[in-house]
Chains A and B, each alone.
Chain A
Amino acid sequence: MSQKVHPYIPNMVPEVQAEMLKVIGAESIMELYSCIPEELQFKEEMKLPPSLTEYELRRHIEGLLNKNTSTKENLNFLGAGCWQHFIPAVCDEINQRSEFLTAYAGEPYEDHGRFQALFEYQSLVAELVDMDVVNVPTFDWGQAAATAVRMAARITGRNRVLLAKSVAPERSKIMINYGTPDLQFEFVQFDTQSGAMDLADLKAKLTDDVAAVYFENPSYLGFIEAQGPEISKLLKGNDSLMVVGVDPISLGVLAPPSHYGADIVCGDLQPLGMHMNFSGGQAGFIATRDEVKFVQEYPSRLFGIVPTVKEGEYGFGDVAYERTSFALREKGKESVGTQTALWGITAGVYLALLGPEGMQEVGQTIMQNSQYAVQQLNQLTGVTGSRLESPFFKEFIVDFNQTRLSVEQINQRLIEKKIFGGKDLSQEFPEFGQSALFCVTEVHTKEDIDHLVQSIKEILTK
């Protein structure tokens, strides 16, 4: 009994154990495991590294983390689904609170604050997208889009989904795996000069079994798709639904998809106050009109406001709970469980801090900075700042085809200069050859952008 009591395990104290075993009527703890048959008992020692005290653990983990170099020590122009934005300190203060950090499945009474914060998150995003219903967030944009098209399939009773070819390949992989085998997916081509959806191809593929068309705006490739109203008109004529993915930080300046006919809107909350966390900051949202046919098809929890028996008190609860897999197992709508609630609360804090002016301002600053970057990149010989002709939001394709260097070579040289260049698109979109998707936001100063351009210039002229 010389074993040390671990700080996380109070009942390792031998006297306490003896007392508890006496209550149970057992001789030893191992007696409690008698239900596990001999042949299933693991008799070996797990080969794990030795335990560390708190101080040793800190040294060990910090030692590992110090092998990383982050976007804090390097100038970062990577986006492509995870983006570097300004994060107000209050966002971190709130999502690091013990109460929110460690709460889980409490009732609407002892967790009144959690329910209210998530109801408010729903309400704030509802204003941003100008729709009446928003869900408690799901895993990420990919999952939100995957569920949105499944909702569309159930609503229309159809099983074919058309995806814009410009959709992020990572997201379309998530959507296709999530939809298969119930749904069939097909891509709609885009114009490689503008990025815009090829409407002739859309018309050709828009048969009467099409449940939905999904496109993104701003698109994965950065450009703004201006044909929303035309696409919507085509879909309405075919009784198909329009599902649009958005970057919510663009919605202070860009029209929300509901204004050009979207039936279901989805996207990622990460830009609204979440650190990138090597992709741990992603969180998906879905929004619709307040119509029964939409609400009843959400798999997610939807928090609603209700009165209490005391005048003047707000209460909250689950709307239409019976549709969920919690209530109906495999007969519920898809599935529900732990997703990304804390990021929903954080996105709410972000929107409350920025307000209407802030959302407009951040969108405008992003556009000015990114346009400035393209303007400066265009001055480099052999570089086209924006491969596509359409206006863009915060991302754009930089074309290096005329430089005789590959994106990989350029990016390696940029790393030496402590710059993370844009995402190499040569695998995902070979039609653009040696091109990279760069991301410029409100966090980039003029000096940052000038430094990038100067660095690329040096690489190209050496």
Chain B
Amino acid sequence: MQRIKRTSKTRDFHQAKWNEPIIFELHQPGEKGVELPPVNNDVALAVGDGTSVIPEAMQRRNKPNLPEIGQARVLRHYLRLSQETLGSDFNVEIGQGTCTMKYIPKINELLVRDPKMMELHPLQDEGTVQGMLEIFHNLDLCMREISGMDYFSFQPSSGTQALFAMASIVRKYHESRGEGEKRDEIITTIFSHPSQAATAAVKGYKIITLHPDENGFPDIEKLKAAVSERTAGFVVANPEDTGIFNPRIKEFTDIIHQAGGLCFYDQANANGLLGMTRAKEAGFDMCFFNLHKTFAAPHMCGGPATGALGVIAGLKEFLPAPIVEHHDGRYSLQYDLEHSIGKVRSFHGVAQTVLRAYAWIRALGADGLKEVAKIAVLNNNYMYHKVLAIRGASAPYVLGHRLEQVRYSWEQMTLETGVTTEDVTLRMTDFGLHYWTSHHPYIVKQPFTLEPTESYSKEDLDEYIHALEQISQEAYENPEIVKTAPHTSTIHKMDEQDFLENPEKWCISWRSYLKKTQACETVK
């Protein structure tokens, strides 16, 4: 036979399209999805119906208006929805910069389904959960090595919650020194995650945001101008979303310390830094790592997750309780922390993610972690050179190497063709690839943020680059194809109008949709 030609550089892709109804439309009265454990006859004889003791005002009169659907149909519905979701297992997920989308080892998923993990109650006697506490403690020890911090809490269940916990510690720390009222400002930078500013504001702080200098570094002169006796703390990522490492970071933390503030390090994404540089040496008092980013726990559509929070010894007493301690061969939960901020999340946090991160570190060891960092940086700089060669693309600020990610710009392409970064987002889905722009505000114009991590091969990187190249070419030669995308996605372009902004039209539940569309029909 003749050889089948496969010459296209981009993938001939079409996403699954099942056109599933909304689950309420599957309602068939009398059908049943599952049988429940029955009540024992003797129990029913002894206590009666169980519900007539409910006070009148507390009885539910109408059954909840849930659909009735057979089990196979429920399963099929959700399996189809899963196929209409492009998880990172399927996708060369370079396009979600700042989020460190890396390979999620299957062995870890197998381990977290062990009943001796899944079926543990958080209040079991310590003697019955020694293995679990040992895993928490072992991960704590690993994290100390990676960061130079002295104690870790795994209670915060995302980066945002870890940032909030750190802002809470800053407040409690200054209160413990009688400066709680006086120190009411937290300094951050514009290229750091929005949650840094947002969580500090929840904690009652006034936010001072530093913009970058002409090279993209946080501006040290602006920092000097911003610090005062009102400075409570400084929160920053390094590198920031631009992938530019601030080499003067120690000067920054020194300035803050001299002013009496605490420095906390957003290491949500530390993928390029493992074994290379640490929070401690840069002068930070606290840091956190997202276990669902650098440490290969899955993102799970957006949680549950863990923001592992590390502090220097002097701040241990401020951590949310309990923390795990190890004495004389026994692991225990320490609730007695003098200045504890209390709790940020119930019980112990997301234990599965703690187990996954520990397993991932054990699969790599110290040398392996350094390889992760090195290859993540290699991959990023390879992409950086390739992307800069694409017509209309650029990367503002300092020349030279970047660490694990880069914030690029299509500004030139947009000026020359009218094709925006949002258009590119939709066109990328036609190739089975995810692409994200940037957090707001768009300091870099027409932004996109690529982070290739260590998980992708050169061939994977080239596939992503080819897709960007093709879209650039289309933008200059046939922009309509980009502007009308997606073409091979599950759905066509949404007719958003003001359905998401107008209170008369937005529908945040099916019942709301039925009411609002019914009203609309009646008017017609």
Contacts and interface: CB of A to CB of B under 8 A. Distances in A.
Contacts of B67: 352, 355
Contact of B87 (A9, A62, A100, A356): A100
Given A57-B107, A182-B204, A355-B67, A313 B508 contact: no
Contact of A279 (B127, B300, B349, B489): B349
Given A10-B456, A325-B198, A94 B78 contact: yes
A6 to B, nearest CB: 6
B79 A94 contact: yes
B494 interface: yes
B138 to A, nearest CB: 8
Interface stretch (A68-76, A208-216, A234-242): A68-76
Interface residues of B, number: 216
Contacts of A363: 51
Given A12-B371, A339-B158, A78 B121 contact: yes
Contacts of A120: 22-24, 510
Interface in A48-107: 48-52, 54, 57-58, 60-62, 64-72, 74, 76, 78, 80-82, 84, 86, 88, 90, 93-94, 96-107
Contact of B65 (A97, A305, A356): A356
B261 interface: no
B495 A308 contact: yes
A94 B508 contact: no
A65 B128 CA distance: 11
A171 interface: yes
Interface string B21-54: 0111000000111101111101110111111011
B259 interface: no
B135 A20 contact: no
Nearest to B56: A226
A355 B207 CA distance: 47
B303 A339 contact: yes
Interface in A342-372: 342-343, 345, 348-349, 351-369, 371-372
A1 to B, nearest CB: 13
A109 B116 contact: no
A364 B50 contact: yes
B53 A371 contact: yes
A430 interface: no
A47 B375 contact: no
Interface in B228-282: 244-245, 247, 249-250, 275-278, 281-282
B371 A97 contact: no
A163 B122 CA distance: 25
B366 interface: yes
B249 to A, nearest CB: 7
A199 interface: no
Nearest to B192: A329
Contacts of A10: 455-458, 460
A396 interface: no
A266 interface: no
A342 B301 contact: yes
B506 A304 contact: yes
A372 B501 CA distance: 51
A342 to B, nearest CB: 4
A80 B123 contact: yes
A461 interface: no
Contacts of B119: 70-72, 84, 275-276
Interface stretch (B3-11, B88-96, B410-418): B88-96
Interface string B353-374: 1010011011111111111101
A433 interface: no
B120 A278 contact: yes
Contacts of B65: 127, 356
A107 to B, nearest CB: 6
Contacts of A229: 57
A174 interface: yes
A354 B35 CA distance: 8
A224 B145 contact: no
B278 A42 contact: yes
Most B CB atoms within 10 A — which of A40, A128, A328, A334?
A40
A116 interface: yes
Contacts of B507: 304-305
- Dominant secondary structure of chain B at its interface with chain A: loop
Given A315-B494, A372-B43, A11 B457 contact: yes
Interface stretch (B159-167, B218-226, B309-317, B467-475): B159-167
B326 interface: no
A334 to B, nearest CB: 5
A327 B440 contact: yes
A42 B127 CA distance: 38
A254 B59 contact: yes
Given A98-B87, A314-B22, A391 B54 contact: yes
Contact of A101 (B109, B142, B367, B460): B109
Contact of B351 (A102, A279, A283): A279
Nearest to A83: B121
Contact of B71 (A90, A107, A302, A320): A90
Contacts of B37: 86, 365, 442-443, 445
A253 B157 contact: no
B362 A338 contact: no
A368 B327 CA distance: 44
Contact of A78 (B124, B429, B456): B124
A345 B87 CA distance: 15
A8 B250 contact: no
Given A130-B64, A139-B161, A312-B19, A307 B362 contact: no
B50 A74 contact: no
Given A308-B491, A308-B493, A365-B36, A57 B301 contact: no
A134 interface: yes
Contacts of A267: none
B496 interface: yes
A104 B87 CA distance: 7
Contacts of A342: 300-304
A372 B47 contact: yes
B494 A26 contact: no
B60 A252 contact: yes
Nearest to B301: A341
A124 interface: yes
A246 to B, nearest CB: 11
A423 B405 CA distance: 48
Nearest to B460: A10
Contacts of A11: 375, 378-379, 454, 456-458
Given A10-B456, A101-B109, A47 B493 contact: no
A16 interface: yes
B281 A40 contact: yes
A339 B302 contact: yes
Interface string A289-301: 0101001000000
Contacts of A315: 491, 494-495
A313 B490 CA distance: 10
Contacts of A134: 508-509
Given A96-B109, A97-B82, A134-B509, A280 B352 contact: yes
A136 interface: yes
A70 B116 contact: yes
B23 A46 contact: no
Question: Which 6 A-B residue pairs are closest in the complex by CB-CB distance?
Answer: A51-B365, A353-B33, A67-B131, A113-B84, A279-B347, A337-B160
14 contacts: A40-B250, A57-B359, A64-B131, A65-B132, A108-B494, A112-B81, A128-B64, A132-B509, A253-B59, A254-B58, A278-B122, A317-B500, A342-B303, A371-B47
Given A278-B122, A313-B491, 5 more contacts: A11-B457, A24-B381, A118-B301, A181-B171, A446-B43
